[in-house]
Structure 1
């Protein structure tokens, strides 16, 4: 049997060394790469196609969650993090395991055993969207999008609107358009509800970008945005706008 391929992604060199040291006792796991930030980690994942990633959450350039969103089929994940027990409840549901820093060899062995069991059972990849929704304590402030080998980081304040495009969401700013393989439902739940409203099943708009709203049909309205775009507003979307704006 071939060894499971492992990549370590953590911005702390001592943390990476601890994992490498503990892995030496396990011939069924092979370390094939390591990275100190999310960008380099993504390159390693794309090149090596690992079976297991030891992943830190708070890293420079890209967070662990942002990295996962850019991987089409995330492998088994063991989070290595300094977050408290409350924040870690989501990891228990959607990851192989989490290692709360600092941890000892016994705790590492426990996590690796869980990952081994998961890999042997060939379970589906990590449910990234579910994990992010359950973990987040506050709305996101940026969206990371992969375009070929290029990665764009879009501050949410720059977003004018988002539209559904089959399995993707199209994120529109004043300067550009970006396609992200992510559901509208997920974006609706992680964006700031005080700033963004889903006005239609296929449209999310930043409320500050609305110039005016006119009656459009029997139960619909038409929002004219400041950039000149027009967006159909459903009856449900209009009710959400009225509630937010206090009309």
Structure 2
């Protein structure tokens, strides 16, 4: 049993579907519904203001799809897709979805999905209890296939999301590790590593150049030549953090 409430947001353009999911979730007292939205734009605004732990997210909506909504986020909560269409299942898991529920949602399938959520949260909790935040001088072991490295975090200039994996940039190397960007962010020192957008965490020590960018964002050029966009929302945090 998880020790805290999981704050959930329902995003679905069908009012009856939202009501039915609310009804089903009454059986799970550890799930707190903090809001609901009928389209992607409303969903974006509520995610930014409410910061939910979990999204119940429809895919086909009038303005933007659920996938397009996730692409607008800097940090994606845990996602359970709820949809009447089965052809999006493969793409859903490219977004690290916890589960994919077909409408009408079966109570048993909902219970299975929430059991996965409990297991995931317990695993993350144990990892955090067992491991503290890493400093830039800590050395980490990186393995990709048959190749292995011991790398100081100071020398890693960039982490890039690749589905369930993350690509680690240091020197001329770009190995993949089986860690999500969210899990990495929990362990990295926020004074050194900054979440630029949904797909990238950058090492502030390795920024070569900063330029204004589209729609109030920033464009970072890393010492390795990579160009990383900082979203408008994250650009505000970046400027606050880097100012005197």
TM-score, structure 2 as length reference: 0.50
Q: Deviations over 1:37-72 (max 9, x none)?
A: 111111111111111000011112222112112221
Larger Cα Rg: Structure 1 or Structure 2?
A: 1
- Report the Cα offset of residue 166 of structure 1: 7.4
Partner of 1:91: 92
Distance 1:122 1:28, change over 3 A: same
Partner of 2:111: 109
Aligned pairs for 1:187-202 within 5 A: none
The answer on whether the counterparts of 1:53 and 1:78 sit within 8 Å (CA) in structure 2 is yes
With a CA cutoff of 8 Å and minimum separation of 6, indicate the structure with the bigger relative contact order. Answer: 2
What is the rounded CA distance, in whole Å, between the counterparts of 2:218 and 2:89 in structure 1? Answer: 25
Distance 1:83 1:89, change over 3 A: same
Structure 1: which 5+ residue stretches go unaligned? 132-164, 171-176, 183-200, 203-247
What is the rounded CA distance, in whole Å, between the counterparts of 2:15 and 2:216 in structure 1? Answer: 34
Q: Is 2:73 aligned against 1:71? A: yes
Count of equivalent residues:
146
Give the 3-state SS of the residue equivalent to 1:83 in structure 2.
coil
- Report the Cα offset of residue 129 of structure 1: 6.9
Q: 2:38 aligns with which of 31, 36, 39?
A: 36
Distance 1:168 1:88, change over 3 A: farther
Moved over 6 A (4+): 165-169, 179-182
Give the 3-state SS of the residue equivalent to 1:7 in structure 2.
strand
What is the rounded CA distance, in whole Å, between the counterparts of 2:8 and 2:72 in structure 1? Answer: 18
Give the 3-state SS of the residue equivalent to 1:53 in structure 2.
strand
Distance 1:103 1:128, change over 3 A: farther
Aligned pairs for 1:144-159 within 5 A: none
Partner of 2:53: 51
What is the rounded CA distance, in whole Å, between the counterparts of 1:130 and 1:179 in structure 2? Answer: 27
Partner of 1:191: none
Q: Deviations over 1:119-140 (max 9, x none)?
A: 33239xxx98749xxxxxxxxx
Partner of 1:157: none
Q: Deviations over 1:206-237 (max 9, x none)?
A: xxxxxxxxxxxxxxxxxxxxxxxxxxxxxxxx
- Report the Cα offset of residue 169 of structure 1: 11
Q: Deviations over 1:171-214 (max 9, x none)?
A: xxxxxx447799xxxxxxxxxxxxxxxxxx87xxxxxxxxxxxx
Q: Deviations over 1:120-165 (max 9, x none)?
A: 3239xxx98749xxxxxxxxxxxxxxxxxxxxxxxxxxxxxxxxx9
Distance 1:48 1:166, change over 3 A: farther
Partner of 1:100: 102
Aligned pairs for 1:8-19 within 5 A: 8-19=10-21
- Report the Cα offset of residue 11 of structure 1: 0.2
What is the rounded CA distance, in whole Å, between the counterparts of 1:168 and 1:57 in structure 2? Answer: 35
